[in-house]
Structure 1
């Protein structure tokens, strides 16, 4: 996500280390609210000790977010602060939002101020968030009862009319991750998140201010848009390199501390206010950036992740490709340059596409907590040579001494910077500090549609483009092209050799079906003001494309009626008994040195019992990395089942690579002790999940996964001298005490039945649906064998 168009608890009790809900403790009296709170907590979402979080306000008893009667998947729209109409350009205000077509609205952007607090700038009549008004604009009349004006006033007003829509304040973005964008458009590189996350005291101050901000303005949560907490060299805004480069080795650690603190503070506020506060994040989809984010340890703190599955190609280098391809086609010119397709360890897998990014995050969290990002804007080049109608051609800036900071040879001498499109092909351009146009081929989709139709628009001057300048006049034909392999459209002007990567109804229909079929949570849009509709002269219009809802309508059409999203991390039945064992990964090399990727798997036993030698540890990681993980510690770790192998043209086939390792017979792990295993893999993975530890004839889930409905039994042990003898004691009642399922009976959410030797819980109303036949996302949740 960028403002600028250059890329870039329920308190759980612990008994002898076993997590159990309060209601299962001996002598404990369960309360209805406590039981329902844990029942509603999403699988994998971290608890905050001591906070009785009202999860059931926001989630149902399957841990799925409540989205209102008209939606089974999220449609998240970013609404930006700067399209106010006060600068002469057409306005896009809160009343222009298609409120009936979205489930969430993210307001972009707030920032970190000099006092380490969240801020939208100084109050006053020029502040679009809290001070502006729009007299005479129908629908933009302010609510005089509110103590603030601006967009926040209108958001509060319209939200009262659409109570199912949730609003979040998005903090950061390209320009304000490491600085502050002032009202005059100038930017101060104050340090932002880069500075904030160096100090836990500052993080605490910031998190407290976020809570106060949400309470003051009525937002449902905070969306953290940190671009980027990665050790990748020269990532992020080049204006921030003086601080970001100096802290590359600390950025991930600080990011994790920030998100953990925010989760805890928001959970405490949720418990105190009786109102659930969300925490989300805009997350990178680029394999290059993600290699420097270790294992994306913040996923456990997020209600959901919004993948920025765009800005995957752009004029920061010469390689001409799609902004937001859904799939790889095996021909990506940038990946080919870096020998990705021919390096055996990569197995021909391309990592600059949405499908790869989804499977990266799927390794750490369920499909329903992942949203696919789409861009309602273009990126483009001029002077393109080679390729198929420009696709996978090259377009180097003729004078490489004039590359903008942070692009091409300014950060890597091997890669030329790109020749970004300008003028009429660059309507939504930014300006440099000197006031010059930044060439990048960025346009709202309504402007791209006018180019395609050959319409000379009347709004060029309002965007700083002189209509008399030849570069700002339409010439040649902008022909629409589409790759069904990539699910990516583009415009190609053969006369001008201009390539503009677009989004259209075909690509969004395909992406919506992808989201629906794979069980993703939904689609996130950057940004709503880029959508288009035709302004017909017959209806008093101008005979050109302008703001509209064509693309969001296509998204809603594709998601309407889809089944509930995937709510469980594992595709298999998870053991009902949970051991208090933590697994983490440490010791990553920085940036480009992080290859092959060789961290230490750190297993910490906090269970109160010894884990004996011979215990078997299993886990999954996403198919974003080949199924070739191994260890360098002599433990014999190996991938025992592959969800995918080989190239990923057309998409990765399965979700997980499954790993198994046996603790050596001589390596008992006493309680309070740990063991490290150095592992090796070759492409980025998000935090492995679905851990299972088996010994003494019984399997256990691990607390590190934050599993839903923690409970059951754990082993007891007796120790004589150095030898530990482990036995299993079972204290739970027979789960098949539940009544037998009957096809004619009506069941409602939360009711349990027994069927075919398993116990099942209904997630919602059902009749006639046989347990075991409805799939992992269906009505019946398998609680395990009786």
Structure 2
């Protein structure tokens, strides 16, 4: 490894070049210490038992301070994963990377958890909160890398102020692209410089950009962002490319000075609809790897009932059939709402080993489903559509006990989405009302209506729960589907898998007789990957 502050010799630079991943952009004039992260074949060094990536998103808001179950750094299965993406930082009003004002209520840098085993602060660090704990545990697990993830659905075009209100600042949209569609060079430089300062200050190994979405497709992304995103659509792709190039170069120059290679990744959409509007972008070369968001492929934003994250297409997708995709020469009759399609889309421009497929540890679902087979490929249209529901009829999303992890709309009301952690879905499947329901506002004597029967489609590689009495469909993941997806990754030389989010995994609490937060699915992936061959490191690999 190069010593910080010392220039590399010609022989050292040549040695570092042997570790650069195939196709990764070379920053002019920067002697990047690639070998601090990659081996001589250009494969990431993650520990002897981790030939593939297991990337888990760790969210900052499950602190337990609101009375709901907490998920802290001490709950992460550190020995089973390779990377932790902290979600989320945001772009502030001055175009800088930020997690908000310092203070004891700041979960990232100021909060503490007195009396919670494993949540004791490292006194040697000048900050507290999640960042303190992440660095404390990283000392015990030095092969695990941490990334600061910026953006997300709610904070791509704005951010949450200290009082919890959303500031519609423009976020990524205005930071990277001016109102006239031109590239905002000054905004990008400010953000990239602040990103370098941030990873140095808080001990991160790199930056993950979750920009949803730099596409030309009108009304894509969060409806709260449309007012300033739609007018910039024609220039978003150029701004995105300039942002990623600048980040790569500034991280590389910082890495050359610090004697360590800083990672850069993105969370990329997997939907063919969104990617149509991003077809001219060329950012893969700036990335160490791409995390495909191969989930949210069906949900209550429209009436079509289908799996959240199927691995394959079955030629029967009701949404695609209604759009004429299967008979369209443009798409070659190929369904594009599945993980396999998304993987091959990105595989055309980068090695398999620099691609990670996405796995959701949460459900999506509808109620009042009509038709289909046990709900699959049926329809569930809502009687009235809220703003931002999309181009088709909005869906009748599941609510109540079938929507434990729901968001709130702008009026503070439950957004119907059928969103649940997998541990709650497992309890529904078994007819169990967990004792945690009171934490989410349900009475202690809550009773379930109907039976949640598990169904599975082997062609799609997709499980779901079907409540025939309530006509509720909840798309799930479990050992069978995750095992098949892990095999898919291992067999094709893919880099690994990305999880949204770690807190959704499940484990059985025998003493309580219920499923709770655990690591069953993550452990299954680890067990599959640890005996896998090294991932494909060349673009030319089959």
CA shift, 1:466, in A, is: 5.0
Are 1:487 and 2:487 counterparts? no
Tell me the residue number matched to 1:564. 534
Are 1:417 and 2:394 counterparts? yes
- Bigger helix share: 2
Identify the structure with bigger relative contact order (alpha carbons < 8 Å, sequence gap 6+): 2
CA shift, 1:186, in A, is: 2.2
Tell me the residue number matched to 1:442. 419
Are 1:386 and 2:371 counterparts? yes
Tell me the residue number matched to 2:386. 404
Measured in 2, the distance between the counterparts of 1:151 and 1:30 equals: 39
Are 1:70 and 2:49 counterparts? yes
Tell me the residue number matched to 1:535. 509
Tell me the residue number matched to 1:602. none
Tell me the residue number matched to 1:509. 483
CA shift, 1:346, in A, is: 2.5
Give the alignment partner of residue 452 of structure 2, picking from 478, 488, 495. 478
Q: Is the 8 A contact 1:120 1:129 kept in 2?
A: yes
Measured in 2, the distance between the counterparts of 1:278 and 1:473 equals: 48
Give the alignment partner of residue 175 of structure 2, picking from 190, 196, 211. 196
Give the alignment partner of residue 346 of structure 2, picking from 361, 380, 385. 361
Paired residue secondary structure (1:347): coil
Measured in 1, the distance between the counterparts of 2:416 and 2:439 equals: 18
Are 1:376 and 2:361 counterparts? yes
Measured in 2, the distance between the counterparts of 1:304 and 1:463 equals: 37
Measured in 2, the distance between the counterparts of 1:140 and 1:227 equals: 32
CA shift, 1:36, in A, is: 1.2
Measured in 2, the distance between the counterparts of 1:41 and 1:345 equals: 37
Alignment of 1:656-671 (within 5 A): none
Alignment of 1:326-345 (within 5 A): 326-345=311-330
Query: Structure 1 residues 103 and 460, CA, compared in 2 at 3 Å: closer, same or farther?
Result: same
Measured in 2, the distance between the counterparts of 1:446 and 1:431 equals: 21
Paired residue secondary structure (2:325): coil
Alignment of 1:503-652 (within 5 A): 503-537=477-511, 542-571=512-541
Measured in 2, the distance between the counterparts of 1:437 and 1:473 equals: 20
Are 1:302 and 2:287 counterparts? yes
Q: Is the 8 A contact 2:238 2:281 kept in 1?
A: no
Tell me the residue number matched to 1:35. 14
- Bigger strand share: 1
Measured in 1, the distance between the counterparts of 2:109 and 2:314 equals: 47
Tell me the residue number matched to 1:222. 207
CA shift, 1:32, in A, is: 3.0
CA shift, 1:279, in A, is: 0.5
Measured in 2, the distance between the counterparts of 1:456 and 1:569 equals: 49
Are 1:281 and 2:266 counterparts? yes
Query: Structure 1 residues 345 and 434, CA, compared in 2 at 3 Å: closer, same or farther?
Result: closer
Q: Is the 8 A contact 1:533 1:545 kept in 2?
A: yes
Q: Which ranges of structure 1 fall in alignment gaps of 5 or more residues?
A: 1-9, 11-28, 572-654, 656-786
Paired residue secondary structure (2:454): strand
Give the alignment partner of residue 157 of structure 1, picking from 136, 161, 168. 136
Measured in 2, the distance between the counterparts of 1:226 and 1:389 equals: 35
How many matched pairs? 530
Tell me the residue number matched to 1:104. 83
Q: Is the 8 A contact 2:237 2:280 kept in 1?
A: no
CA shift, 1:34, in A, is: 1.3
Measured in 1, the distance between the counterparts of 2:194 and 2:100 equals: 14
Q: Is the 8 A contact 1:424 1:473 kept in 2?
A: no
CA shift, 1:336, in A, is: 0.1
The structure that has the greater radius of gyration is 1
CA shift, 1:91, in A, is: 0.6
Deviation by residue 1:460-487 (Cα, 9 ceiling, x = unmatched): 232244557xxx6411000001111000
TM-score (norm 2): 0.96
